[in-house]
Structure 1
């Protein structure tokens, strides 16, 4: 039997998961002209989206050495991360809220095959090891892109 007590841990888990995903997104959301993938970026024009998608500490702070024209660019790896993570998180929370609403309404629909499948999908989304590898691997790929690009740029500066 599904109760409110059974719904709260997944919702709290989702909140922790969302915080981790957003923190990791900040690690791969800074554009630098020396990135190996620097030719591929998305210019974020909306101020609210800039504050969400682009790390404020590394590229948009007042003491940043990033050129003003580069401060609102989301690099390729950051774009890929956002395109995957935000729909994933959205699907998870929608399913959790549907189940919570059905529990609160004490609906018999909660025990239907459809809702059972929704719960299975939510569990799959949350515990999928490929997704955890993705959210941890994208910042690592970005750091490799950054390090190799910076190294190449420094070599060209010495010449």
Structure 2
């Protein structure tokens, strides 16, 4: 099978189609130097149970890309429906680099020291084990080093058709 680039697919049609795929919403975080970095991400996927692997798709031009490549460790915080404002804030392009987590309750992960959102439904810490170039993004695959879950999870925040909502 050969890989040919399809040129007759309209990008707008593709975007509309994939917006019909409801996804969970996370914040992916890392610490590079003395700076905490975080971004809202819905392109996060559990990859393997043996070994425990998960991936995140990171835009190559995003500030987060350089930070996660530099640090080699990262966190995933799965957001509750009540965290819509946090998701919007950390998805805002051009927000200040310094202090972007000042208004978000968080703590340091014990395994890596990356920031994890305190009110998340679950939090994981990961060490990067592979990266894969994928167009204008890079798939960052991490080995799961720690997992924490909320004892009283609420509804999950989801992203569907360009909007945040709740999964009850």
TM-score (normalised: structure 1) = 0.25
Higher helix share: 1
TM-score (normalised: structure 2) = 0.24
Higher strand share: 2
Greater relative contact order, per chain length (Cα 8 Å cut-off, separation 6+): 1
Bigger radius of gyration, 1 or 2?
1
